[in-house]
Amino acid sequence: MEKLQVYVENSKNEPLDYDYDLEMGACLINLNFSDNPEWASKGENALTITDSGDGLSIKFPDRKAINLLYSEARELFIALSMNIDDKIEIRKSEIIKTF
C-alpha cells in the first residue's frame, strides 16, 4: 500500500494542517486521522473505500457501507467538489495533488 499524507487548510490564509494519513492499495483506500493533537481519535479510521470491480463501497466507522456504481461515485465526487473551498494537498515527499 502506498502511504500519503493529507494536509487541509482549516482556516483561510493559514498554513495547512496535517489532518489525515491515506493508504492506497489496488482495491482498498484507508483514510485515517493523523496524530495531529487537535484530533480526539488520533490514528483511527475515518473512512474506507473498497473497489468491488463493479463499483465502490464506502464505509465510515459504525455505519452501514454505501455501495455506488463507478458512475454514481464520479457524480458524487463532482457534486461534493463544488462545495469545497478549503485547499487540500496530498503529499508524499512532494505535492502530489492540489485542489
Over residues 15-48, the pLDDT tens digits come to: 899 999 999 999 999 999 998 888 888 889 999 9
| Residue 36 in grid coordinates | 495531529
Q: pTM of the full predicted structure?
A: 0.82
Percent of the chain past pLDDT 90, that is, above it, reads: 58
Which of residues 77 and 93 earns the better pLDDT score?
Answer: 77
> Which residues have CB under 8 Å from 67's CB, separation 6+?
52, 55, 56, 57, 58
| Residue 79 in grid coordinates | 457534486
Question: How sure is the predictor about 52, in pLDDT bands with cuts at 50, 70 and 90?
Answer: very high
Nearest to 51 by CA among 63, 35, 67, 64: 67
Confidence (pLDDT) at 13? 83
Instruction: Report the alpha-carbon angle 46-97-54, nearest 5.
Output: 60
| Residue 21 in grid coordinates | 494519513
What are the boundaries of each domain within the chain? 2-98
Pairing of strands 66-69, 55-59: antiparallel
